């Protein structure tokens, strides 16, 4: 019998976590081999590795403890990879040399697959004077464009993608531009954005008071705090970004407030980290710890939970010693504090198994109790490790025990820390678990509600064909195995589409009390939620002790990925074609076409490039049909001919071709780009993409700059035969990308924007 609870679980293991030779030949012949590989490697740093290898193997078996993907994929392979999931880089200096030193460090980290976070508040605002040169500063967003291009280049080189988080303080003079940056959907695509919101700002918002934007002691502008708050809210209401991080609360509650200041987080926000901070992640699968599920005496086995947590803490602590690091500063930071992030997955499924409704007061109270049990077990286990192996090097008992997270901890736990010290400065975090949740049999992800009870997944076969398979939530599958395939689900079954936004907040706040780092969670809001009700979600998150807030409201820009039936059961949208949709036959060329020619003068180039785009008119609407790219520079001849033929072929297939603009604008020339009209353009190809974008705007095929690259609904309906259905997965092409735990995630292949 297979160990996997669903076909998708085995496919995820094979694609992402199974060790294979360079030619694709499997080394791990079974998932048990993968568990053994990881257990053996993490036990290798122990004085008695054989004993701990068996304990670690038992924790991994049956998917009870789920180390994060980089540990599953990298431990025991002998490869030079980091087992850490996320990093916050060093403080960005406000100098050109320092900025590009930071860019190099980011590239080295991302090359090993690490997701990174940066605070760009340290760069002087646009227009500020630069000493020693007769020029004004270009501002932090211009350098974020360079970081964005670098990330695309690392990806194009075939490395495992690593996402980026950019933060900016709410009092930085460029904060309004930062908030609006994602309105251009082709810009900063490799970044998640979050505003660092301070307590004084929130008090000013509530009092409707003024707010100063300042840098290096100089006030650049004063505005109404509520106006700035509304601008943040409007952007995330329309475009799902930026997120909000309550940075003062994070620093006040930090166990290490006595020796570090936090100004940035990892890409999903669950790990606030200091400069060069790194964290590794793992999750307890709560759905595997419920005894007698869906029976009257169903309960979470807290003895098994405590035992599993104790083993998991030891395993994760060993990762600190077993892992490699992209930078020496990251290794030193990790060893000095031994920070780990143990979280959960399958929480919503576990609540269903004991008959409780996710989002209810009862469900929130149970969640708080479970998370407290995990926190207690984690801190006691780390104190025991400290007695055996020593406390983390920067441990200061008096200061540590007076820190925010420890003040409400039970006395017996604090007594153990006072006696033994503690091995790991921070221990708990709830990270995105989308892919490992699929690997564990499609359990509910992190602390999120069940997203959909079932959906149809299209699987790409080796011969290029696609087959369909149903993916059912783990708890739903278990319930129907017990009560029959046609059994009606009880009324306490809820999902992300039917849950009130404030119920989401209640669950996040309940969990946050016992999580010493933070939580990656998405609060799903209905499309028709009013703007005032939407703002209330963020204010409630602040008032109830959350450390941040991320929402997702489906609309024409963000995409609407699920439809909810009258029975309140979430089901995937009907998907007739599933792949990128084209016209059945290429468009025929008329004898005469209308078009425009554009002259593109690239700096330092002797000859201009001329771009001609001709359009066809269908149903009274113009759409591009062909392109000609010409230059007298013979060095350009081969690639301009190739580009002409390729783009023209795409145009003639019909459908939404605005992606051509995005892909061209993403091309980064390692020899350097150029500044054109005050904006950094990373390559000639990116400039050509800009020309095509301008043409598409002029003919009405896409909306204008600042509104994103959104196809005109009438044009799309005319060309494709249906209205837009949201975003397609960039990895497998399937529609259904959904926001989970702060990351756009594909249910079909497990692809995540956050890596």
pLDDT at position 712: 31
565 pLDDT higher than 70? no
Confidence band (pLDDT; 50, 70, 90) for 619? low
Above 80 in pLDDT, residue 126? Answer: yes
State mean pLDDT over 455-468.
66
CA distance 742 to 240: 9
Q: How far apart are CA 201 and CA 169, in angstroms?
A: 10
532 falls within a domain: no
Angle, CA 549 vertex, CA 545 and CA 551 arms, to 5°: 140
Residue whose token pair is 């270009």: 138
Count of Cβ atoms closer than 10 Å to residue 217 Cβ: 5
CA of residue 565 relative to chain centroid, distance:
28
Q: In this model, does residue 551 exceed pLDDT 80?
A: yes
Same domain assignment for residues 100 and 201: yes
pLDDT in tens, 27-60: 999 999 999 999 999 999 999 999 999 999 999 9
Residue 529 lies in a domain: no
Give the whole-angstrom CA distance, residue 548 versus residue 741: 12
Distance CA 518, CA 430 (A): 7
Query: What CA–CA distance (Å, rounded) separates 163 from 548?
Result: 19
Q: Are 393 and 336 in contact (CB under 8 A)?
A: yes
Q: Above pLDDT 70, what percent of the chain?
A: 85
714: pLDDT strictly greater than 50: no
What pLDDT is recorded for position 563? Answer: 36
Rounded CA separation 403/434 (Å): 32
Higher-pLDDT residue of 730, 102: 102
The answer to whether the beta carbons of residues 26 and 18 sit under 8 Å apart is yes
DSSP class per residue in 690-727: HHHHHHHHHTTSBPPTTS-S-B-HHHHHHHHSS----P
Q: CA-CA distance, 257 to 403, in Å (whole number)?
A: 7
Report residue 43 as tokens. Answer: 């036990």
Q: Which tokens go with 295?
A: 């029976």
In this predicted structure, the answer to whether residue 723 has a pLDDT above a threshold of 50 is no
- Dist CA 236 CA 179 (whole Å): 9
Q: Is 57 helix (H, G, I), strand (E, B) or coil?
A: helix
Specify whether 176 is located in the same domain as 99: yes
Task: Give the dihedral of Cα atoms 731, 18, 463, 649; nearest 10 deg.
Answer: 20
Tell me if 516 is assigned to some domain.
yes
Same domain, 98 and 67: no
Report the Cα–Cα distance between both ends of the chain, in Å, rounded: 31
Q: How confident is the model at residue 497 (pLDDT cuts 50, 70, 90)?
A: confident
What domain range includes position 626?
Answer: 594-720
pLDDT for res 149:
81
Q: Stretch 534-545: mean pLDDT, rounded?
A: 97
Answer with the residue of higher pLDDT: 179 or 569. 179
Residue 247 resides in a domain: yes
pLDDT at 257 over 90: yes
- Cβ(510)–Cβ(365) below 8 Å: yes
> In this structure, are residues 114 and 87 in contact, taking their beta carbons and an 8 Å threshold?
yes
467 or 199, which is more confident?
A: 199
Residue at 578 is within a domain: no
Query: Which residue is it, tokens 């995630």?
Result: 745
620 phi and psi, to 5 degrees? 80, 5
Classified as helix, coil or strand, 569 is coil
**Dihedral (Cα; 667, 174, 270, 87), 10-degree rounding:** 60
Q: How confident is the model over 226-247, as a mean pLDDT?
A: 95
- Whether 700 shows a pLDDT value over 70: the answer reads yes
The three-class DSSP label of residue 123 is coil
Q: Which residue among 495, 522, 549 closes a domain?
A: 522
Q: Of 285-289, 568-572, 604-608, which gets the smallest average pLDDT?
A: 568-572
80 and 47 belong to one structural domain: yes
- For 68-83, the pLDDT digits (tens) are 999 999 999 998 888 9
Q: Is the pLDDT of residue 709 over 50?
A: no
Which range among 75-84, 367-376, 679-688 has the greatest average pLDDT?
A: 367-376
Judging by DSSP bridges, how do beta strands 674-676 and 679-681 pair with one another?
A: antiparallel
Q: Are residues 143 and 30 in the same domain?
A: no
CA distance 590 to 385: 77
- Residue 630: pLDDT band by 50, 70, 90 thresholds? confident
Strand partners, 272: 265
The residue assigned the tokens 């104190």 is 383
Task: Indicate if 378 and 292 belong to the same structural domain.
Answer: yes
Structure tokens at 599: 């002259």
Which H or E element spans position 478?
helix 474-483
Mean pLDDT across 177-194: 87
pLDDT-derived band at 297 (thresholds 50, 70, 90) equals very high
Rounded CA gap, 570 and 573, in Å? 9
Secondary structure letter of residue 441 according to DSSP = T
In a domain? residue 452: yes
In three-state secondary structure terms, 660 is helix
Q: Are residues 164 and 284 in the same domain?
A: no
Residue 174 sits in the same domain as residue 292: no
Kind and range of the H or E run holding 469: strand 466-472
Pairing of strands 551-552, 523-524: parallel
Please state which of the ranges 125-139, 155-169, 350-364, 476-490 shows the lowest mean pLDDT: 155-169
* Bridge-based pairing state of the strands 290-291 and 272-273: unpaired
CA distance 492 to 499: 11
Q: Can you state the percent helix, strand and coil of the chain, rounding each to 5? A: 40, 20, 40
Smallest CA-to-CA distance from 17 within 88, 79, 77, 69 is with 69
**Do residues 667 and 153 touch, judged by C-beta distance below 8 A?**
no
Average pLDDT score over residue span 159-181: 88
Task: Count up the domains in the chain and report the number.
Answer: 3
User: Are 282 and 207 within one domain?
Assistant: no
| Span 2-32, pLDDT tens digits | 689 888 899 889 989 999 998 889 999 999 9
Q: How confident is the model at residue 468 (pLDDT cuts 50, 70, 90)?
A: confident
Asked whether residue 44 is domain-assigned, the answer is yes
- The confidence band for 580, taking pLDDT boundaries of 50, 70 and 90, is very low
Question: Which residue did the predictor score with more confidence, 435 or 539?
Answer: 539
Q: Which of 489, 522, 555 is the last residue of a domain?
A: 522
Structure tokens at 194: 């979050």
User: Could you tell me if residue 412 is inside a domain?
Assistant: yes
Residues 6+ apart with CB under 8 A from 752: 432, 434, 435, 743, 744, 745, 746
164 shares its domain with 36: no
User: Mean pLDDT over residues 590-612, rounded?
Assistant: 82
**Which residue would you say has higher pLDDT here, 216 or 606?**
216
pLDDT digits 0-9 by tens, 648-662 = 888 887 666 777 887
Quick one: average pLDDT of 299-326?
96
Tell whether 119 and 79 lie within a shared domain: no
Mean per-residue pLDDT over the chain, rounded: 85
CATH number at residue 356: 3.20.70.20
Chosen domain end from 487, 522, 557 = 522
Residues with a known catalytic role? 266, 268, 270
Q: What angle do CA 294, 300, 304 make, to 5 degrees?
A: 135
Q: Are 355 and 401 members of one domain?
A: yes
| pLDDT average, residue stretch 91-105 | 91
Strand-pair partners of 627: 613
- Of the chain, the percentage scoring pLDDT greater than 90 comes to 56
């Amino acid at each position: 019998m297979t160990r996997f609870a669903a076909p998708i679980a085995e496919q995820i293991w094979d694609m992402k976590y199974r060790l294979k030779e360079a030619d694709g030949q499997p080394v791990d012949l079974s998932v048990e081999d993968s568990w053994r590989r990881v257990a053996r490697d993490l036990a290798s740093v122990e004085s008695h590795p054989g004993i701990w290898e068996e304990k670690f193997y038992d924790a991994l078996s049956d998917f009870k403890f789920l180390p994060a993907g980089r540990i599953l994929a990298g431990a025991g392979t002998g490869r030079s990879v980091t087992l850490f999931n996320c990093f916050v880089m060093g403080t960005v200096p406000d100098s050109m040399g320092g900025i590009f030193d930071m860019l190099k460090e980011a590239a080295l980290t991302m090359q090993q697959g690490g997701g990174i976070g940066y605070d760009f508040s340290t760069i002087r605002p646009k227009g500020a004077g630069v000493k020693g040169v007769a020029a004004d500063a270009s501002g932090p967003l211009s350098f974020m464009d360079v970081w964005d291009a670098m990330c695309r280049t690392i990806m194009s080189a075939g490395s495992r993608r690593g996402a980026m988080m950019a933060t900016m303080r709410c009092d930085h003079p460029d904060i309004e531009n930062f908030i609006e940056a994602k309105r251009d959907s082709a810009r900063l695509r490799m970044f998640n954005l979050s505003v660092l919101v301070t307590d004084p700002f929130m008090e000013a918002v509530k009092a409707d008071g003024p707010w100063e934007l300042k840098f290096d002691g100089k006030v650049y502008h004063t505005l109404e705090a509520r106006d700035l708050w509304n601008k943040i809210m409007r952007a995330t209401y329309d475009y799902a970004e930026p997120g909000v991080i309550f940075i003062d609360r994070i620093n006040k509650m930090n166990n290490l407030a006595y020796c570090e200041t936090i100004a940035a987080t990892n890409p999903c926000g669950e790990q606030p980290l200091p400069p060069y901070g790194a964290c590794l992640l793992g999750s307890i699968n709560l759905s595997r710890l419920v005894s007698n599920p869906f029976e009257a005496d169903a309960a979470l086995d807290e003895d098994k939970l405590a035992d599993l947590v104790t083993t998991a803490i030891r395993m994760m602590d060993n990762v600190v010693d077993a892992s490699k690091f992209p930078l020496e500063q990251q290794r030193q930071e990790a060893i000095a504090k031994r920070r780990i992030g143990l979280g959960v997955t399958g929480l919503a499924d576990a609540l269903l198994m004991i008959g409780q409704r996710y989002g209810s007061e009862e469900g929130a109270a149970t969640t708080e109790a479970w998370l407290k049990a995990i926190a207690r077990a984690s801190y006691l286990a780390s104190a025991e490790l400290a007695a055996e192996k020593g406390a983390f090097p920067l441990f200061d008992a008096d200061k540590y025990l007076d820190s925010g997270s420890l003040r409400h901890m039970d006395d017996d736990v604090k007594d153990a820390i006072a006696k033994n010290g503690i091995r790991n400065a921070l221990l708990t975090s709830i990270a995105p678990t989308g892919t490992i949740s699929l690997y564990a049999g499609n359990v509910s992800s992190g602390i999120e509600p069940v997203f959909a009870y079932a959906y149809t997944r299209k699987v790409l076969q080796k011969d290029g064909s696609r087959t369909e398979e149903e993916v059912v939530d783990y708890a739903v599958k278990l319930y129907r195995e017990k009560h029959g395939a046609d059994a009606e689900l009880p009324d306490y079954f809820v999902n992300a589409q039917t849950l009130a936004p404030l119920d989401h907040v209640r669950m996040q706040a309940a969990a946050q009390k016992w999580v010493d780092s933070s939580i990656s969670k998405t609060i799903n809001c209905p499309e028709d939620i009013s703007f005032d009700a939407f703002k209330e979600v963020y204010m409630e998150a602040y008032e109830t002790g959350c450390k941040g807030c991320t929402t997702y409201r489906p609309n024409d820009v963000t995409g609407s990925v699920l439809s909810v039936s009258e029975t309140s059961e979430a089901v995937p949208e009907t998907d007739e074609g599933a792949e990128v949709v084209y016209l059945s036959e290429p468009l025929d060329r008329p004898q005469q076409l209308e078009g425009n020619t554009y002259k593109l003068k690239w700096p330092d180039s002797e000859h201009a490039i001329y771009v001609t785009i001709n359009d066809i008119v269908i149903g009274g609407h113009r759409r591009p049909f062909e392109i000609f790219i010409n230059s007298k520079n013979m060095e350009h001849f081969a690639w301009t001919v190739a580009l002409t033929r390729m783009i023209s072929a795409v145009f003639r297939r019909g459908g939404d071709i605005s992606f051509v603009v995005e892909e061209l604008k993403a091309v980064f020339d390692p020899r350097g780009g150029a500044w054109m009209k005050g904006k950094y353009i990373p390559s000639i190809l990116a400039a050509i993409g800009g020309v095509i974008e301008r043409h598409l705007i002029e003919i009405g095929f896409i909306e204008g700059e600042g509104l994103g690259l959104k196809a005109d609904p009438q044009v799309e309906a005319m060309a494709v035969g249906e209205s837009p259905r949201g975003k397609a997965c960039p990895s497998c092409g399937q529609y259904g990308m959904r926001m989970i735990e702060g990351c756009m995630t594909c249910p079909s292949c497990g692809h995540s924007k956050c890596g």
